[in-house]
Amino acid sequence: MAGEQLQALQDALLQAFPNEDALRELLLFKMDLKLALITSTSGRSLAAAMLDVIAYVDSYGRLAQLVAGARQLRPQNRELDEVVRRYWPSITSTADAPDAGRPMAVGTGVVAARVRPAETALSENEWQHLIRFIREKKCTPVIGPGVCRGVLADSVELATEWADRWQYPFPDPADLTRVSQFLALTEYRLLPHEQIHQRYSAARDPDFASPDEPHALLADLDLPLYLTTNYDDFMVKALASRRIKAARAFPSWNQTLREQEVAPPDASASALVYHLYGHHEIPESMVLTEDDHFDLLAGVVADPKLLPPAVKRALGGSSLLFIGFGVLDWGFRVLVRTLIASVTAPNKRLGVAVQLPPENLSEAQRAQVERYLQGFLNYSGHVQFRVFWGDTREFARTLRARWESQRGHAAAS
């Protein structure tokens, strides 16, 4: 892109999206991207962050998509309109076509005639289904990093810390997967894995006595299988705090693990915590870098027996409760699109995904995010999901109240 064109686009975008929240909305709703995964805004001007965004999307051949999305969100902005007409006339003609002002379903090319208000909770029937699946031991929690919020550093915090320490040169210093890949290639293969192991070994445990602590709630449900993408031991410890003996296991997804003698899970345990992405005590088992993710996916495709029968039965036949994942989490996408799809038989039970809604959204924008997420979750046709919009502790409080109420009614009768 020529310097004059770059300067004009930067100025127009800054005028149309004059603060960080506005820029974040543009990227999320029109590009399916998170600002924090592209650039750090801490201590930097918005103009510098905007340049990073432009460079990033241009490197992936998506600059026209950014320009078109900006014009759709700010159709009355004269400066932006002038820049688009001068440098991207094809976008102008498309946007001026009939129906161009109607809201678009995020992630699709389908024009939506109206926006349905976003649902913030499950229906009463959906809650009843979930409670029944739990009571019948036909529910399998799938645990993501959000359940550790406030106890462990999140992926953005880790990535930016490492990016600063090891002078990561690319414009996405908050993307843990890519920063980890950089460290593995420029330092040594297991450096990022060992960094997480050191941090997690020194971490304090969550307060399992708190009624809204997510691990504590899940332990009280006393289920036979817990799937997790986390590297920590909190789920096993939460179960132990309830005097439930749990075994721990993970897939042997690389050659190093396959050559090691791994003891089978303790048959006397009443629960299994299966770490889909490995455990920090064995750094080689952790799925962290881009190469790790690709190797795991290749392993799932190449070896139908990589996942144990209990895990495959759960993915294909139990009600899946996703808790602690963000809308755009890489690990969440891999799970839904690949691991679940590796089970050939469709799952006929209702699944639930607990999602923290993005901040500062209008009702129409929130409905777009919900529609996008529902489409993504149900894309493969293997599982039909419903979404609970709220944080993990809010969900834990709500589910605990309903679960204990049901148990109380059952005991009284």
Burial 385-409 (b: 16+ CB within 10 A, else e): bbbbbbbbbbbbebbbebbeebeee
> What total number of domains does the chain contain?
3
Terminus-to-terminus CA distance in the chain, angstroms? Answer: 73
Burial class (CB within 10 angstroms; exposed 0-12, middle 13-18, buried 19+) of 97? exposed
Handedness of CA 68, 369, 288, 157 (dihedral sign): positive
Give pLDDT, residue 33.
83
Residue 109 included in any domain? no
3-state SS of 44-65 is: CCHHHHHHHHHHHHHHCCCHHH
- Closest among 253, 247, 222, 221 to 233, alpha carbons compared: 247
Give per-residue burial for 98-116: e unless 16+ CB within 10 Å, then b: eeeeebbebeeeeeeeebe
Q: CB 357: neighbour CB atoms within 10 A?
A: 16
Give me the residue label for tokens 């800054």.
14
One digit per residue, pLDDT tens: the chain, 413 residues? 567 888 899 999 999 998 888 898 898 888 878 888 788 777 788 888 898 888 888 866 788 889 988 988 888 888 998 989 888 887 755 444 433 333 222 222 222 222 233 344 688 888 999 999 999 999 999 999 989 988 998 888 999 999 999 999 998 898 899 999 999 999 999 999 999 999 999 999 999 999 899 999 999 999 999 999 999 999 999 999 999 999 999 999 999 999 887 777 787 899 999 999 999 999 999 999 999 988 988 888 788 889 999 998 888 888 989 998 876 676 777 777 666 666 656 666 777 877 766 555 666 776 777 777 767 766 655 567 788 877 899 899 999 999 988 876 665 55
Examine residue 160 and state whether it is found in any structural domain, yes or no.
Answer: yes
Tell whether 302 is covered by a domain.
yes
How do the residues of the chain divide into helix, strand and coil, expressed in percent and rounded to 5?
A: 50, 10, 40
Q: What is the DSSP string of 95-120?
A: HTSTTTTSPBPTTSSPBPSS-PPPP-
- Are 265 and 396 in a shared domain? yes
The CATH number that applies at residue 134 is 3.40.50.1220
For the CA atoms of 314, 316, 317, 323, what is the dihedral angle to 10 degrees? Answer: 60
**Which helix or strand (DSSP H or E) is residue 248 part of?**
strand 246-249
Sign of CA dihedral 346, 347, 348, 352: negative
Residues 190 and 339 in one domain: no
Domain stop point among 202, 225, 240? 202
pTM: 0.70
Nearest to 73 by CA among 33, 115, 25: 25
**Do 255 and 195 share a structural domain?**
no
Same-domain status, 137 and 271: yes
Whole-number CA gyration radius for the chain: 23
- From 185, 202, 219, the end of a domain falls on 202
Instruction: Let me know whether 227 and 369 are in one domain.
Output: yes
In a domain, 111, yes or no: no
Q: Are residues 265 and 378 in the same domain?
A: yes
Whether residue 234 is found in the same domain as residue 167: no
Q: What is the DSSP string of 123-145?
A: -HHHHHHHHHHHHTT-EEEEE-G
- pLDDT on residue 348: 67
Assign residue 320 a region (left: φ > 0; alpha: ψ between -120 and 50; beta: otherwise). beta
Give a yes or no: residue 101 inside a domain. no
What pLDDT sits at residue 119?
A: 40
My answer on whether 289 and 335 are in the same domain is: yes
Same-domain pairing of 302 and 341:
yes
Say if 70 falls within a structural domain.
yes
Shared domain for 20 and 159, answered yes or no, is: no
Tokens of 162: 């490492």
Q: Which residues contact 35 (CB under 8 A, 6 or more apart)?
A: 20, 23, 24, 27, 41, 49, 53
Instruction: Determine, yes or no, domain membership for 110.
Output: no
**DSSP H or E run through 411:** helix 392-412
**310 in the same domain as 403:** yes
Is residue 115 in some structural domain? no
CA dist., res. 141 & res. 317, Å (int): 13
User: What is the β-pairing status of strands 271-275 and 225-228?
Assistant: parallel
Q: Which domain holds residue 133?
A: 124-152+208-412
Cβ(385)–Cβ(378) under 8 Å?
Answer: yes
> Residue 76 and residue 16: Cα distance in Å, rounded?
10
C-beta neighbour count of 20 within 10 angstroms: 12
CA distance 385 to 371: 12
CA 165/CA 185 separation, integer angstroms: 15
Residues 392, 254, single domain; the answer is yes
